[in-house]
A and B are shown apart, each in its own frame.
Chain A
Amino acid sequence: MPTNAIVADHLTYQYGDLLAVDHIDFQVAEREIFAFLGPNGAGKSTTINMLTGQLKPKDGVATVLGMDVADDPNKVQAKIGVCFEISNLYEQLTANDNLILFARLFGVKDFDPEVLIGRVGLDGRGDELVETYSKGMKQRLMVARALVNRPEVIFLDEPTEGLDPQSSLAIRKVILEERERGATIFLTTHDMTEADKLSDRVAFIDKGQIAAIDTPHNLKQQYGKRLLRAEVSDGDGKLREREIELDQPQTAAEVERLFEQEQVITVHTEEATLEDIFIQITGRALD
């Protein structure tokens, strides 16, 4: 039975009168990629801040690698890596110097920044000042910085938001490599496609509460419907669209009838996206 790398037990945080995170419970297994999905202001970053020791919960307990985060944040922080949503690199230093600084803070011996620089696709750019980097390059460097201590748990807060496809791809590749290495990944995003592609499980958070939590497949099975869409010709050159719901007792008969009775031009299947399911569950779209 896999042990849990992260446990949120009635985790709560309040900013003044605003209940940002409202008694949420979830567990993330070791080596799992767990996506935390929700619109802006849903409580994603506040949850990450509590799990990483940056905020002390007002109620509940955050446990990472079996340690209560609030008890000794520095002990937990030694074993985790965090990639922030907004770039907070030392822009007047080179990329290599940024990584070396953090390697020293983590006490990493014989650290070679070029290895990480290469892994995030910035080969040959390590000696350049960060202020000369593009947004995508900075974000890749942020991911590299989160990996300097070979963390057991990696928190990535919107790692690909607003990035070019090349940078997004590089970051996704690193996430999968890190999971292969044995790390647990906690990912917040409002890119549902990315979550669908990468995650083992997803949790929807809305207004500080967990609205649903499961694998993308199960969520689609439970909340979405798969369809077969066909374009058929009505004989005078015009096209009509036919739609048959899949996974139903009568599906096979309907499909057979379609091909017998209609002149089918094109056919394809379609399944619900996580975004559709989010809307169905919460009644509102992602921002």
Chain B
Amino acid sequence: MKLEMLGAVIRKDLVLFFKNRFFAVITVFALFGYAVIYYLLPSQIDETLEIGIFAPAIASALAAPLEEEGVVLEEYASEAALKEAVTQGDVPVGVQFPKDLLALVAGGERPTVDVYLSADLPQEFRDLYPVLVEEWVALMAGNSMTVEFNEQILGVDRAGSLIPTRDRMLPLLAVFILMVEVLGLASLISEEITTGTIRALLITPLSTEGLFTAKGIFGVGFAFAQVTLLMLVTGGLIKQPTLILLILFVGAIMVTGIAFLIASASKDMMSVMWKGMLALLILIIPAMNVLLPGLTTDWIKAIPSFYLVDAVHQVINFDASWSAVWSNVLILAAFAAAFLALGVLALRRQFR
């Protein structure tokens, strides 16, 4: 197998990939658009709790107990202004205290405090705020709590350095970029089978193994180059670049195998698109889980991209080392080898 032969096929695939306007556009969009989206998202998480209040005459007394708790009070001039602020989403919650709150509490009475909650506030927060307000009033009145709290942070204390949404999105963007390449490569191969150009290639000294090698180099190289570029422009390679590149390289091998499989089962670009989109929907589930951690369930570990996404997330966002992610990388490599082998077998049947 001569390098010149491989080079000729790879060069041809690269030209044909960009001759397809659809894939040319989405490739450019994926590279630049995702980078733009990344930089448009905030780079830090606001860890303060904002509460709107309407409390004539006692605002300063209200603020005192919360000064060190990371709560920011936003004072409004009237009940109507407070309600408007909550309705508009300026503050998630608004509390209206009666003018003579402290006197009523001191007299042993139970004054009424109005709590206005934003309509899109989750149920757990709706339940939490009244409790918070009750504790707040008790502290203000000088009443001590019935229990002492002993807070212990388990794991890395990320107070003050929570992971911004855009960094949680990076594994998702990486999967998207890799899948765009899957669609392009699968479409390219399926078209070659349909139009018979594969037959023309294989009637030359280029062997079937040589053809697979060329397609594999193109697929892995193209996917890896794109995702590396994305990581480069978003700063994803700042921490442990070698480890991140290794994970992405194995991921690129896996998606190339998936592209081979999709190509072997498709007859045209539309067929590639719907099968590719189905694969994409499944493969992004683990990335969505990183974005919205509450979704965690064990079954997502059955999705091959979990090991790619989790490893990238651990290294980029938690500075995890090889010892923390080696099992992920090995499982990912096993999936990559399996998909590549299955893809080659399926395509070889098609070539015959």
Contacts and interface: CB of A to CB of B under 8 A. Distances in A.
A234 interface: no
Given A89-B197, A93-B15, A82 B2 contact: no
B162 to A, nearest CB: 49
Nearest to A106: B204
A239 interface: no
Contacts of A77: 203-205
B204 A91 contact: no
B197 A84 contact: no
26 contacts: A52-B203, A54-B199, A74-B207, A77-B203, A77-B204, A84-B200, A88-B197, A89-B197, A90-B12, A92-B15, A92-B16, A93-B15, A93-B16, A93-B19, A97-B15, A101-B12, A102-B200, A102-B204, A105-B8, A105-B201, A105-B206, A106-B205, A107-B2, A107-B5, A107-B205, A145-B200
Nearest to A105: B204
A271 B5 CA distance: 52
Please give me the 3 A-B residue pairs with the lowest Cβ-Cβ distance, nearest first: A88-B196, A104-B8, A105-B204
Given A91-B195, A104-B4, A107-B205, 8 more contacts: A54-B202, A88-B195, A88-B197, A93-B19, A104-B7, A104-B8, A105-B9, A107-B5
Interface residues of A, number: 24
A228 to B, nearest CB: 49
Interface string B193-217: 0011101111111110000000000
A105 B202 CA distance: 10
A72 to B, nearest CB: 10
B272 to A, nearest CB: 16
Contacts of A104: 4-5, 7-8
Given A88-B200, A104-B4, A78 B205 contact: yes
A115 interface: no
Interface string A13-55: 0000000000000000000000000000000000000001110
Nearest to B209: A74
Contacts of A53: 203
Nearest to B195: A88
Contacts of A92: 15-16, 19-20
Interface of A is mostly: loop
Contacts, number: 62
A54 B202 CA distance: 8
Nearest to A92: B19
Contact of A101 (B8, B202, B205, B207): B8
Contacts of B205: 74-75, 77-78, 105-107
Nearest to B198: A88
Interface residues of B, number: 23
A86 interface: yes
Q: Which of B12, B19, B201 has the most CB of A within 10 A?
A: B12
Contacts of A84: 196, 199-200
A57 to B, nearest CB: 14
A32 B15 CA distance: 40
Contacts of A74: 205-207
Contacts of A52: 203
Nearest to A100: B8
A238 to B, nearest CB: 59
A82 B203 contact: yes
Contacts of B206: 74, 105
Contacts of B19: 92-93
Nearest to B197: A88
A90 B14 CA distance: 13
A52 B200 CA distance: 11
A143 to B, nearest CB: 13
B211 to A, nearest CB: 10
Interface string B1-43: 0101101110010011001100000000000000000000000
B297 to A, nearest CB: 45
A107 B4 CA distance: 8
Nearest to B351: A54
A54 to B, nearest CB: 7
A88 B15 contact: no
Contacts of B2: 107
A106 B205 CA distance: 6
A106 B206 CA distance: 8
Contacts of A93: 12, 15-16, 19
A52 B201 CA distance: 13
Given A92-B19, A93-B12, A86 B203 contact: no
Contacts of B202: 54
Contacts of B196: 84, 86, 88
B275 to A, nearest CB: 23
Interface in B299-314: none
A84 B200 CA distance: 8
A105 B204 CA distance: 7
A84 B201 CA distance: 12
Contacts of B195: 88, 91
Q: Which of A86, A90, A91 has the most CB of B within 10 A?
A: A90
Contacts of B16: 90, 92-93
Interface string A117-152: 000000000000000000000000000010000000
Contacts of A82: 200, 203
Contacts of B203: 52-54, 77, 82
A14 B200 CA distance: 23
Contacts of A90: 12, 16, 197
A218 B205 CA distance: 39
A29 to B, nearest CB: 23
A114 B276 CA distance: 40
A198 to B, nearest CB: 23
